[in-house]
Amino acid sequence: MGAELDTYVEDREGFLRSRVYVVRQLIRRLTRQGVSVRVLQRLDISSQVEAAFIHVDLTTVPVPFSWVDRLYRRCLNGRALSIARDLYSTARLLPEDDCPEPVIVKTLLNHRGLSELAYLN
C-alpha cells in the first residue's frame, strides 16, 4: 500500500529530528491509526496520493510548494502562501502614527526571519 498522505516540509531532516512540531505528533497519531504518511522536501509530481499537507516553517511558502494544491485532490494549507502579519493584522502602527504608549514590535517575518535565513542558506 502506498502513502495516503504526503506532507511537504522545507527541511525534511530538521523536521524529522525536531521534537517540538505539533505536526510530528499528528503524523505519529495518524500512523498508529493505519494511515501511511510520506514526509517530502521536494515536489513529487508523480504522486498517486489524493491528499497532501504543507507545513513549512517560513513566512512565505517557497515557489516549488505553491504547486502542491494543484497536484492533489485535497490539500491542507495549499492556498495559504503567506502568513506575513501585514496580510491579516490591522493592529499595527505606521511610521506616521502618534502613540504615546509603549508598543510591542513584531516583524512581518515568522520567527524573526530565522527560518527564511536557514532555508536560503
For residue range 27-61, list pLDDT tens digits in order.
999 999 999 999 999 989 898 899 999 998 888 88
Taking the domains of the chain in order of start, what are their residue ranges? 5-76, 85-120
pLDDT for position 36:
94
**Cα 44 to Cα 103: distance, rounded to the nearest angstrom:** 44
Gap between the Cα atoms of 105 and 116, Å rounded: 19
Q: Which fold has domain 5-76?
A: Rossmann fold (3.40.50)
**pLDDT for the residue numbered 2:** 56
Q: What is the pTM of this model?
A: 0.75
Neighbours of 5 (CB within 10 A): 20
User: Residue 13's pLDDT is what?
Assistant: 92
Task: Check: CB of residue 14 under 8 Å from CB of residue 4.
Answer: no
Give pLDDT < 50 ranges for the chain. none
